[in-house]
Structure 1
Amino acid sequence: MTGTRRAAMFAMVLCALALSIAVPLRTYLSQRDELRDANAESDKLREQVAALEHRKSQLNDPAFVEIEARKRLHWVRPGETPYIVQLPGDENRNTESERPSGKPSANQSWYEELWQSVTHK
C-alpha cells in the first residue's frame, strides 16, 4: 500500500509541477509571438519612413518638381509648344478629357481646380 500511496503522491506532485509550468510557458510563447509581430511591423514602418524621406528629398529638388508638373499636369514653360504624341492603340483614348482646362471656373478657387485636374486622370 505504501507503494501506491507514493505513486499517487508522485503523480500529484508531477501534475502540480506541470500545471505551474504550463501557464507561464504559454504566456512566454504568446508574448514571443507578439514581439515577433511587433518587430515585423516596426521594420515595415521603418521602410515606409525611409521611402517617405526619399520622396521628401525628391520633392525638395526644383528640377524633380518641374518634371512632375510637366508629366502630371501637362505644364509647359512660356514660349514652348506642347505636343501630344499618339501611339498605336490610342485612337479610342480621349486626350481632351485628360488635359486640364485652360480657363478657371467662376465658382472654384485655383487650388480646387488644381486638385480636380490631378484627381481626374
Structure 2
Amino acid sequence: MAGTEDTEPAPRHLARLISVRALVLSVVLLVGFTMLFPTIRAYLGQRAELDALASDVVVAEQTERDLQVELDRWSDPAFVQAQARARLSYVLPGETSYRVIDPEFVVETPTVEGATPGPVAGPTLPMGGAVTPWYTTVWESVRIAGESAMPEPDATERQ
C-alpha cells in the first residue's frame, strides 16, 4: 500500500509543475514579445520606406533619361528650326506667314451678283472703332452698383 500512496501525489505534483512552467514560459514569451515588437515594427516600417524610395529613384532615373533624350534633340539645328516655326510662328526671310484667326468662326456671306465670294472670318468691331478696355467696363459696373445701393433721402431728412 505504501507504493500506491507515492504514485498518487506524483500526477498532481507533475500537473502543478507543468502549469507553473507553462506560466513562467508564457510570461517570458510575453516580456520578450513586448520588448521586441517595437523594434521589429520600426524595422518593417523603415524597410517599406526604403522600398518606396528605391521605386522613386527608378522613376527619377527614367525621367532623367527622358529629359536627356529631349536635350539631345534640341542640339539638332533642324529640330530647333522646326520648333521655332511651330511654336513661335517664325519664318525664314522671303517666306510669307499666314495665320487663321478662328477657323471655327467662319461666316458665309450671302451671294451677291458681281461680288467676290468668300468667307469672312474673325470678330467684328463695334461702330466707332476700338473696344473699351476691360477694366473700364468693370469700373463702370462698380460705379453703377454703388449708385443703386445708396438709399434715397426721405423728405423728412431733407428739411
TM range (shorter): 0.5 to 0.7
Equivalent residues in 2 for 1:1-121, closer than 5 Å: 1-85=16-100, 88-89=103-104, 91=106
User: Runs (4+) of structure 1 moved beyond 3 Å?
Assistant: 1-4, 85-88, 90-94
Aligned-residue CA RMSD (Å): 2.4
Q: Distance in 2 between matches of 1:35 and 1:53?
A: 27
Query: How far apart in 1 are the matches of 2:104 and 2:55?
Result: 44
Normalising by structure 1, we get a TM-score of: 0.65
2:45 counterpart SS class: helix
Counterparts in 2 of 1:93 and 1:19: CA distance versus 1, 3 Å:
farther
Which has the higher Rg, Structure 1 or Structure 2?
2
Q: Using the alignment, how far apart are the partners of 1:90 and 1:56 within structure 2?
A: 38
Q: 3-state SS of the aligned residue for 1:65? A: helix
Moved more, 28-37 or 12-21: 12-21
Q: Which has the higher contact order (CA 8 A, sep 6+)?
A: 1
Q: Deviations along 1:48-107, whole A, 9 cap, x unmatched?
A: 10111011101111110101111111100000111235785254877xxxxxxxxxxxxx
Deviation for aligned residue 1:31? 1.3
Unaligned residue ranges in structure 2 (runs of 5+): 1-15, 107-120, 124-159
Supply the AA of the counterpart residue of 1:77. L
State the AA in 2 paired with 1:55: E
Q: CA offsets, 1:18-74, max 9 Å, x none?
A: 223322321221011101110111011111101110111011111101011111111
Number of corresponding residues: 94
1:97 alignment counterpart:
none
Q: What runs of 5+ residues in structure 1 fail to find an aligned partner? A: 95-121
